[in-house]
Structure 1
Amino acid sequence: MQHRFLALAMLASADAAVISTYTTVITSSVLPPYFQSTPEVFQGPTPTGSEPFLAQTNPVTFSGATTTTFFPASPLQTQEPIQDQPAGDNIFTQMGNIGPYRSSPGFGVDEYPLPNGSEIVWMNMLARHGSRYPTDPNPLGSLIPGSGATFSGQLSWLNNWTYVLGTNILTPLGRQELYDSGVLHNYQYGHLFNPNSTTKLVLRTTTEDRMRKSAQNFAAGFWGLGYDEYAQIEYIIDETGFNSTLSPTNLCVNNNNYRTSAGQNVSTEWIGNYTQNAVKRLNSMSSGFTWNASTVYSAQQLCPYETVALGYSEWCDLFEWQEWEDFEYSIDLDFAGTYGFQSPTSRAVGVGYVEEVLARLNHHLITNATAEVNVTLDSMNSTFPTNQNLYFDFTHEVDLFSTLTAFSFRQFAPLLSATSYQANRELIVSHMVPFGCRLNIELIQAPAPVPTNRSGGWSGYESGEPTTYIHFVLNQRTLPLGQSIPACGDRADGWCELSTWMQAQADALTLADYDYACNGNYSPPAWGAITNGVPPSS
């Protein structure tokens, strides 16, 4: 018996030694081979194929509402029964800037494949981060739980409801949206990337967590988990007072004060009117809690926020179809007056990114301080390369919206009515800047002029010299340049000759009047007083 205890003690001692040795290996970051991911030992043959170029090689005639050919399984439940919802429609087409990504239904022109002999030679993407939690906790999260209120009927589930959303960071769907976008962009433009380049492609984003993770998930989708072998992500400070074209509202003082209040004011008035029936309806099922326009609007916001975070929300079917259309319209009014053509600061906020695109097209650095451009970074090739064929930048939706204004997409300029719903309108925020939205700018080189009207089918090039065109694509649909810049002409494909477009952008900085717009002392313009995205004359 004594020998048996001695043997067990020796075994225990031996096990302890093994554990101690293994712990030392782990803590010294020298993993055993069965846990080691790099270097990749015994990986087998790894020959890769040619990078795809779907944006150029796709022969499909695009005549439908989307350019995708199938719909993958979605983790979200978005088919709640909504009173008076039109057949085939969905309330998640009415969520403004807080709805999950979907390709736009279009901006007034058909899509055309690239003519044989033409080629895409350059592409610049500006994208928004993916679906996130609210930037601030929803007020109902603290007003309802623990209030002692009781609810009945369609609101009975609220008796046990708790608020479980986080703040600001990406939801699982947000990560997926950007990963999927990276995969899509590889299929669309992968051929423009040279995997044998001696320098890494520079991607730019900001320092906020959701911005970092969006760029990282995009890169993983485009290149795979080992993306840092091919790409370097640049993180630009995203804080008040710091220069950055990817978060330019931080530096524009007047964009954050009462001088841009017109949009928010008419939106608040709109909310107060359209929620009246919902206020009565919800109050009839509530005891100890009184609904008003503000709390009803907060309830509507919880529908998309809970859905992108949890996959489903019981808040969604509390509202009728028209109330969801009015919800979208309230966001459209706000964006038009704060970041669009009815805002005195919108061109100023977006013009810095316009400057950067022009600098990239002209292959030059930016050395003079203008607008919110960070000259420290944009004057160095390492942080602002101008010789890439692909550029990937990540921003916020309000900044992308202002950039569209600064690019003079005047089809979104017509004034929205503050008192009656406009069904036929160009400016619909959910079509433009939902979560995960992206603006792609392509350069297309053609061996000769491409006919302006291709609606009857391809009939060949016109006679003339080789021509370079610029093509804007927002959420996978063409933004027609001729509708906003008359000099581009009435082209069926929405393209514009590059030289014509560049000339139209020549006075973008002057027109924005950055210093006065962002720092000037002027009275807040009334709704409708501004139609060009700049303040009244100084």
Structure 2
Amino acid sequence: MFPAAFQIIIISTSDIPQLSQLRFLPRCLTTSIPQLDGPTQTGEAPWLAQTNVAPFAGVSYIPNTPLETQIPIPGNGNNENIFERLANLSPYFPNPRGFGVNEYPIPPGTNVSWVNMVHRHGSRYPEINGEAAERALGKKITDAKGKYNASGEMSFLSDWRFMLGAEILVPVGKQQLFDSGTLHYYQYGHLYPNNGSKIVARTTTQRRMLESAEYFLAGFFGLGWTQNATLEMVIESDGFNNSMAGYKQCNHSGWEMARAARDEWIEVYLQDAFQRIKGNISGDLDWTLMDTYNAQALCAYETVSLGFSHWCSLFTLEEWDGFEYSLDIGFQAGAGFLSPVGRAVGIGYTQEVLARMQHHVITSPTAQVNITLDNNTATFPTDQTLNFDFSHDSNIISILTAFGLTQFNGFLPTTHILRDRQFVLSYLEPFAGRLDIEVIQAPKPVNPTRSGGQIYLEGEPTDYVHFVLNQRTIPLGKSLKECGNRDDGWCEMKVFLEVQQEQIELADYDYACFGKYRDLKYGHVADGRPLGSSKSSTMDRVL
């Protein structure tokens, strides 16, 4: 027990009106007293992206998690995780199977010199805008209280209430971004100059976007991140240029077509579950097939919001595979290569990445680029080695499409699951998904056959581009043939920049977003741009 003179009582200044008026608080009421901090020497910044000789080793430690995900699922004989089958509603997890290429360490003498990250927000409550289907189901059940009976596996409805908020981050969503910031510091902390200067990070004005950026930066720099970074908020609203929400400046959309295709698949895979649930409900609650589908979404949202959901165990493993596939269809047709605006929505952001790579501002209007911000090095720095942006799931899918990553192209039938598809949304854009684009500087050309003994080939210093999506390499040569068939998936930067000029033309932004063409049916689009585009010879424009 300390003597009374040394005791400190923690109080709130609101409890003592006189203190709330003070310009300076007594030291015992502040949370920072530098003279009493004790030793504070910080070690050198890590550089795991550079130094890790086995970037993606097997799991050796499984931390505690706030979510209850060990729910018995019918038909799950191999104890597979349904929370990795929730498409864009999955809590973040690294892609477990990769994108078809092995991971290789950085060769000795080679440096990761630059990174551009675009990051999705963390797990959130369901939306209010659009269909708001989960909220509608909650209201339907609530309004029918006392008018129906639920039995068997549906007996939990007797006490069930809709308890979800709207659109903002849930607690685990905040954790996902903080953890990601910490991970990125371990990967790229060495790239921060630590010379008193600040980097500029960008997000949009939506609250979940702002908080995602703040939690990430707190994970990367610490709670005093405002000393290290300036957070630039770009307006996210219809008619405003914002490359992180490119669909806000595009009059055409693929989402109506996407919903129709998704609904075709729902009619196929969910009939058994619909009949099971409906059979356990009697009275005045007209349970429909779409209610059954929205109940699957409630499983996802309740789990990240409340930690547990009764809805999850109502469905078999096969039905969870069907749920994943329904959203794969939806996002491929709404934002990917099966969308007429798939390339166009993401092309503004890809042009910003290319400008950063080449260290110049953007001086003339192009796509969704905010020229006021991007023509000024104060708001669009051209010399940063760390570039952090925050965006949405569909926008990042369109960014991948705009870069021409045709590995993720391919028609998804609505009659059965295409098992060997590359477009698996939970692997591409779970909550808190992120794309890291690295520039790697090598003293000589790196041998494309990395499994051989020779590391370098004869030649001049060479820069490479490396795409890492959710901690796994995207092999650029699989989509952009000019990059070559490299073991490590890299692409020579000079080649990459040349290829991307063609991708900008293919997007045909003005026509795709503002041209006059008829509505398209699912399957009519196969390259992320509308039929009749000036870059397409498939058919003439419809004027």
TM-score (norm 2): 0.92
Q: Give the equivalent residue in structure 1 for 2:304.
A: 308
Letter in 2 for 1:397: D
Q: 1:264·1:334 contact (CA, 8 Å) conserved in 2?
A: yes
Q: Distance in 2 between matches of 1:180 and 1:372?
A: 30
Task: Evaluate the alpha carbon distance shift between residue 191 and residue 301 of structure 1 in structure 2; reply closer, same or farther with a 3 A threshold.
Answer: same
Give the superposition deviation at 1:44. 2.2
Pairing 1:436-515 to 2, within 5 Å after superposition: 436-456=432-452, 458-515=453-510
Post-superposition offset of 1:406 = 0.1
Structure-2 separation of matches of 1:465 and 1:283: 69
Segment drifting more, 160-169 vs 40-49:
40-49
Separation (CA, whole Å) in 2 of partners of 1:69 and 1:520? 53
- Cα pair 1:131 1:308 within 8 Å, conserved: yes
Q: Among residues 393, 408, 413, which one is paired with 1:412 in the alignment?
A: 408
Corresponding position: 1:131 with 2:128: no
Any residues of structure 2 matched to 1:154-233 within 5 Å, and which?
154-197=153-196, 199-233=197-231
Q: Matched residues in 2 for 1:412 and 1:330: separation?
A: 16
Structure 1 residue aligned with 2:425: 429
Equivalent position of 1:96 in the other structure: 87
Match of 1:59 in 2: 53
Q: Residues 202-229 of structure 1, C-alpha deviation per residue, up to 9 Å, x if partnerless?
A: 1100010000100000010001100001
Residue 248 (structure 1) aligns with:
246
Letter paired with 1:391: N
Instruction: Report the Cα distance in structure 2 between the residues aligned to 1:29 and 1:168, rounded to whole angstroms.
Output: 37
More displaced stretch, 76-85 vs 179-188: 76-85
CA distance in 2, matches of 1:214, 1:244: 17
Matched position secondary structure for 1:431: helix
Inter-partner Cα distance in structure 2 for 1:488 and 1:86: 42
SS in structure 1 of the partner of residue 477 of structure 2? coil
| Match of residue 37, structure 1, among 9, 14, 31 | 31
- Measure, in 2, the Cα distance between the counterparts of 1:346 and 1:454: 34
1:82 aligns with 2:73: yes
Q: Secondary structure at the match of 1:272?
A: helix
Quote how far apart the aligned CAs of 1:20 are. Answer: 11
Matched, 1:276 2:264: no
Give the TM-score, by structure 1 length: 0.93
Deviation at 1:264, TM superposition (A): 1.8
Who is 1:50 aligned against? 44
Question: How many angstroms does 1:41 deviate by?
Answer: 3.9
- The separation in 1 between residues aligned to 2:524 and 2:484, in whole angstroms, is 29
Q: Structure 1: which amino acid aligns with 2:189?
A: G
CA contact (8 A) 1:260 1:344 kept: no
Following the alignment from structure 2 to structure 1, what is the Cα–Cα distance between the partners of residues 74 and 275? 17
- Find the structure with the greater CA-based Rg: 1
8 Å CA contact 2:14–2:20 kept in 1: the answer is no
* Larger displacement relative to structure 2 (42-51 or 155-164): 42-51
Take 1:210 and 1:41, find their aligned partners in 2: how far apart are those partners?
37
Q: How many residues align?
A: 512
Give the counterpart letter for 1:536 in structure 2. L
Number of the residue aligned with 1:144: 141
Aligned partner of 2:517 in structure 1 is 522
Q: Residue type of the partner of 2:22?
A: S
Structure 2: gaps (5+ residues): 1-12, 533-540
User: Following the alignment from structure 2 to structure 1, what is the Cα–Cα distance between the partners of residues 32 and 235?
Assistant: 31
Provide the C-alpha distance between the structure 1 equivalents of 2:500 and 2:179, rounded to a whole number of angstroms: 32
Residue from 339, 346, 350 that aligns with 2:342: 346
**Contact 2:255/2:330 (CA < 8 Å) preserved in 1?**
no
CA-CA distance at 1:48 after TM superposition: 1.1
Quick check: 1:355 aligned with 2:347?
Answer: no
Match of 1:14 in 2: none
3-state SS of the aligned residue for 1:246? Answer: helix
Q: Which residue does 1:266 correspond to in 2?
A: 261
Deviations 1:228-270 (A, max 9, x none): 0111111111111111001111111112xxx553222111111
SS in 2 for 1:150: strand
Shift of 1:69: 4.3
Question: Equivalent residue of 1:534, what SS?
Answer: coil
Q: 2:528 aligns with which of 520, 533, 538?
A: 533
Give the direction of change, closer, same or farther, for the CA distance of 1:86–1:411 in structure 2 (3 Å limit): farther
The 1-side partners of 2:401 and 2:231 are apart by: 27
The alignment partner of 1:291 has SS state of coil
Query: Displacement of 1:511 after TM fit?
Result: 1.2
1:300-342 Cα offsets, whole Å, 9 max, x none, are 0001100001111110000011110000000000111110001
Equivalent residue of 1:439, what SS? strand
Counterpart of 1:117 in structure 2 is: 109
The DSSP-based 3-state class of the residue aligned with 1:440 is strand
Q: Does 1:371 align with 2:362?
A: no
Give, in angstroms, the shift of residue 290 of structure 1.
2.6
- RMSD of the alignment, in Å? 1.6
